[in-house]
Amino acid sequence: MFDIEIYKARRAKLRATVGSGKILLLGNDEASINFAHNWYPYRQDSTFLYYFGLSIPGLIGVLDCDGDQDYLFGNDYQIDDIVWTGPQPTLRELGEKVGVESTFPLAKVSAQLNAKVHILPPYRGEHTLKLREILSKSVEEVSSMASIPLIKAIAAQRNIKAPEELVEMNKAVTTTSAIHLAVMKAARPGMKEYELVAVARRIAAENNVSLSFPPIATINGQTLHNHYYGNTIEAGDIVLFDCGAESPEFYAGDMTRTFPVSATFDSRQRELYEIVFRAHRAAVDSLHAGVKFIDVHLIAAKTLVSGLKEVGLMKGDAEEAVNAGAHTMFFQCGLGHMMGLDVHDMENLGEQYVGYTPELQKSTVFGLKSLRLGKELEENNVITVEPGIYIIPELIDLNKADGKFKDFINYDKLETYRDFGGIRVEEDFVINADGSTLLGNSVAIAPEEVEKVRSQALKS
């Protein structure tokens, strides 16, 4: 946990920004796997962590904007519990750790609230059920009564990372870096994809932290959300590994590397890898406070198109191709996202509030609709940059049948790449006034660096 004053200041700022009414922040309870008392690893709600710091189930926080006071609700352990759990701090002691003097049993929370209550959108069934009970509202009501002023105030606050948060994020990405280097070294022809995941789980567990999202470890990198780990990795394959670890205070890391199972890429792999890497460098070079991330995304897209033209997969003017969306044949998703206590930071608050502004609304067009962050970057935003080339056979067939992008795509040549797979590289950056700072340790990313790691690993 951070210093007590940090939590007090964060809450005071939120109260001041929201201005009036009571803010209800639910802590997370345990999450049941296959019966009520068999639990997944506990994860506190990120907003509750941000304002109340306590990574313990069964807590609720209330901020009274009018009375300038904060309340913590929870139930003290009874002796019967203590036989099973060992001695536990009292609610009063927990409150003291984060500067909350007013602590009450959970049953008292409803009485503390009035008509003007600000809540966040629920993302677990338990949230909906609990809000329903506390607020005496219907399921439908609590699912649609999230407070926009609260969401905006939290997004504005959490989007700018304070120094103590940047230290934590660097820890998260440093552990993440260690995982990526270990996986890049560990891969051998004949291994299963899940053996690479095992390396990640071991290193996270050895650091007593969780992974920040389900890892992707696949020879089918073209499948963007791929959580299947059952394939054997063979010489000639490329492995796409996307994984992040949390820091001790639950901040996220998120990195991707794509590497050959053999010592080197084959010529096609190397060509497309070079293009992705060039797009990555172009995007990173464009980062600074004041640039719109959607423009950085488009710089990456144009760089991809230029490269794809060089290898004969695309044709025509790069700018026109991107304007027409033709790059989405290869790059269907966004260039990156905000990162913080959540890997997609505050995704539960709504991307339009975290990554966009009233003036810059999120696009609904294929490709840009998957860009989680479009707005102008500010100092101490933390973001990912993750361009890629993904050859998706189903998408080729669909677009070809529709006659889409035929001025920009060389479908004949593309057909010869149907089974190519996918490539992505991803790093995490803090935005500065005039550039950006890489978080974590630098892990081989230039193609020659990656091949060097692989060659040495296969010799050892």
> Is residue 136 a contact point for a copy of itself (CB under 8 A)?
no
Please name which of 383, 292, 378 lies closest in space to residue 344, comparing C-alpha atoms: 383
Pick from 124, 292, 400, 406 the residue near a copy of itself by CB under 8 A: 124
If binding means CB under 8 A, how many residues of this protein chain bind a copy of itself? 69
Site for a copy of itself in 250-279 (CB under 8 A): none
Do 303 and 280 form a contact (C-beta atoms < 8 A)? no
| Selection from 216, 223, 222, 265 nearest residue 241 by Cα | 216
Nearest of 372, 394, 390, 392 to residue 381 by alpha carbon: 372
Q: Please report whether residue 189 would count as binding a copy of itself according to CB under 8 A.
A: no
Q: Is 214 a residue that touches a copy of itself (CB under 8 A)?
A: yes
Stretch that binds a copy of itself, among 57-65, 120-128, 177-185, 441-449 (CB under 8 A): 120-128
Q: What angle do CA 129, 132, 133 make, to 5 degrees?
A: 90
Instruction: Give Cα separations from 425 to 97, 279, 346, 412, 428 (angstroms).
Output: 40, 10, 23, 27, 11
- The residue written with tokens 């193609």 in the block is 447
Q: φ, ψ for residue 129 (rounded to 5)?
A: -65, -40
- Residue numbers 33-52 binding a copy of itself by CB under 8 A: 33-43, 45-46
Residues 43/46/48/53 CA torsion (nearest 10 deg): 80
Stretch that binds a copy of itself, among 117-125, 158-166, 305-313, 430-438 (CB under 8 A): 117-125
Structure tokens at 78: 């009874």
| Residues within window 137-156 making contact with a copy of itself, judged by CB under 8 A | 139
Span of 50-58, 84-92, 377-385, 402-410 interacting with a copy of itself by CB under 8 A: 84-92
Q: Which of 197, 219, 275, 287 binds a copy of itself (CB under 8 A)?
A: 197
32 binds a copy of itself (CB under 8 A): yes
Decide if residue 224 touches a copy of itself (CB under 8 A): yes
User: 64, 70, 342, 451: which one contacts a copy of itself (CB under 8 A)?
Assistant: 342
Which among 237, 279, 233, 267 is positioned nearest to 385, based on CA atoms? 279
Local structure of 389: helix, strand or coil = strand
Shortest separation between residue 247's beta carbon and a copy of itself, angstroms: 14
Residues engaged in binding a copy of itself (CB under 8 A): 28, 31-43, 45-46, 79, 82-87, 123-129, 132, 139, 192, 194-195, 197-199, 201-206, 208, 213-214, 220, 222-230, 332, 341-344, 346-348, 392, 394-395, 398
